[in-house]
Chains A and B, each alone.
Chain A
Amino acid sequence: MRVEILYPEICNLCGELMNMRYLKQCCPDMEVISTDLKSRPVFLDEAVDLVYLGSTTEKGLQLVVNALTPVKDELTAKIDAGQRMLVTGNALDAIGLDVTSDDGLKFDGLGLLPTHARYQMMRRHNSFFLGKFGEDITIMGFKSLFGHTYDAPEENGLFTVTRGVGRNPASSLEGFRRGNLMATYLTGPLLVLNPDFTRWLLREMGFVCEKLAFEDAAMDAYRQRLTEFSDERRNPIG
């Protein structure tokens, strides 16, 4: 099994690289490839079970777009052919249509997702999220972002919102799904925080594990968090 982390030298905020460490701890034989900004992504030419892209700075988003623009058509074709890819946090904006901010920042994304991001740089959005993946899997996570994404058709969401904020405060969907491309605005170690989702993902990747790494501890923390996130006295907006 192989996973490829795109641009870990810049896409490493919010502890998100721990997503891949956790997968490796679940599947010790897994090969982890780190591809830097000056290298061609391996998955374009070789079989890779999961490509991962995590949160970065606003300059970092532009570097990601610049790095992938020359291979945009290949990337799109790969995604449409079923390449599995997980995108977390603001990295979603690199594969959307464009980003604008109230401090004058403006750039186009790769256009893989039909959405427009808008940032308010001095009004950071912080919230916790409780939602569903499919019918059965409860998802929890955090958002710590400069803004939201707008104007996408209300379809093809990755998660549905139970509590918290989706793609934007008016949307009941969180993130996007395009085939096996899964993109979420949730920041941080999504896979560590969501053992059920991780188990599902590993199964999709063809890895059946009896138990996840540190599963008992992960489930204890998950249940504790679920109690807190379900508590109506707690406002999801931080």
Chain B
Amino acid sequence: MGKLKFILALWMAKLSIPALKITHHSGTDFPGNLALKICPDFLRYVGRPKTIVAITGTNGKTTVSNMLSDILESNGYRVMSNRAGANVASGIATTFIRSCGLFGRISKYDIAVLEVDERSSVKVYPYVTPDFVAITNLSRDSIMRNAHPDFIAGILTSTIPASTKMILNADDLISCGVAPDNPRVHFGIDRLPTDVTACVNLINDMRICPKCLGKLEYEYLRYHHIGKAVCRDCGFHSPDSEFLARDVDFENHTVTIRENGQDYAYPLITDNVINTYNILTVITTLRQLGLEPEAIRHSLERTVIDTTRYAQEKVGKVTLVKQMSKDLNAMAGSRVFDYISHLPGQKEVYLMMNNMGDAANWSENTCWLYDADFEFLNRDDIVQIVCAGPRALDYKLRLLMAGVPEEKIACDLSEEKAAELLRFTPGDDIYYLYGADAWGLTNRMYDYLKKLALQRAADKEVQQ
């Protein structure tokens, strides 16, 4: 009966694909949704390629999945991936539907690279057993959806099949605790000159030893709980990295990875630590799949990290920097604030990380503002912070609590009026921080900021 239901679900879903194409809805997860409605355990019956790699984690899973797929394809693998769809069960089901034949067999692909939303694990892993699960990192996300990372780690532990090999970040003790009995391999980054030993962030979700509850000390700490920890009470410590990045050189874009006592040089196609971890996840996964370092190196040289979340251009007399900072996500905000704070130049910041969906019908839960390190914005070279949108007044209060002088803060509930409050001082870098749920508004406001920057530049010319 189950198999019959599956065939019915598959055919109905496949039939929906041309219909969606005709109606210009081909990018949706409708086929997967339909299949799962007809046959809830659809993923149990559908065929699969020889190897399945799942990528999960709080941040970086899209970047890692896309890089993995690109590099595998450039090395001759036929890759099935859900990059065009969603990372929840319906998106993954859609990927399988599009990739399989009329009876569910998958013969056109060697490997599946699946980006899997952490919470969706419960609907995916019971049916699709990955050969490898790579966890980029686990940290606080939206408290409304994901509660806290320990909850997410628990979901992953209870759903990932026992045979799956885990690819884990040794510098992240939360993800290291996932599926403790599974086979595993770790990657990590050796001490960096910028590392510290005491946490400067508001969030550190690994303060106590998971074994004895003693206070964890960090031999080095990068940010939040990311670093190398040790418990002086019981000797517990972070695992060693079988793939250890050393000599990280952001200036010359090179990194050495020590593997089995041997050093391999790779190009480092980023200038920040977060993407270095993403690249390390990719390299470690590719090595598990049997790619040689030389092939990986060659592919990385031709790889570009997706920068849709970051862009900068000179407009008028200022530089406009567009940077996504995921709304409702304190960790994402903190990383962006920290990154900006370390960049040279005089800065004006335009904060618009409101969740516009909540603003329309509910009222955004602002707890995350009080977990995010707005303190990083309290710097002399940040000369103005403009708060925009429905939560502008909350941003202002939070900035004051972070020690930012009131005279530096301007705000308006209207995004346009707030933008007009920016100074656009010639030579300044204007950082436009936006959330992830309102692309139309995001783009419209970017255009408006550009228009204002040009206008102000023209005004300055006239004055001179």
Contacts and interface: CB of A to CB of B under 8 A. Distances in A.
Interface stretch (B73-81, B315-323, B359-367): B359-367
Interface residues of A, number: 48
Interface string A208-238: 0000011001101100110011000111101
Given A21-B401, A217-B396, A218-B397, A15 B145 contact: no
A184 interface: no
A81 interface: no
A221 B396 contact: yes
B358 interface: yes
Given A122-B122, A144-B365, A10 B401 contact: no
Given A18-B370, A144-B143, A224-B393, A128 B401 contact: no
B213 A124 contact: no
A192 B399 CA distance: 13
B213 A38 contact: yes
Contact of B363 (A18, A189, A213, A234): A234
Give the residue among A25, A122, A218 with the most B Cβ atoms within 10 A.
A218
A149 to B, nearest CB: 17
Given A57-B151, A225-B363, A234-B361, A14 B144 contact: no
A57 B177 CA distance: 15
A187 interface: yes
Where chain B touches its partner, the secondary structure class is helix
B400 interface: yes
A197 interface: no
A121 B369 CA distance: 24
Interface in A6-45: 9-10, 12-18, 21-22, 25, 36-38
18 contacts: A14-B370, A17-B202, A18-B401, A142-B367, A144-B143, A188-B366, A188-B367, A192-B370, A213-B400, A217-B406, A220-B393, A221-B393, A221-B394, A233-B361, A234-B363, A238-B358, A238-B362, A238-B365
Q: Which 4 A-B pairs have the closest CB atoms?
A: A15-B370, A188-B367, A9-B207, A18-B370
Interface of B: 119, 122, 143-145, 147-148, 150-151, 202-203, 207-208, 213-215, 330, 358, 361-363, 365-371, 393-394, 396-397, 400-401, 406, 413
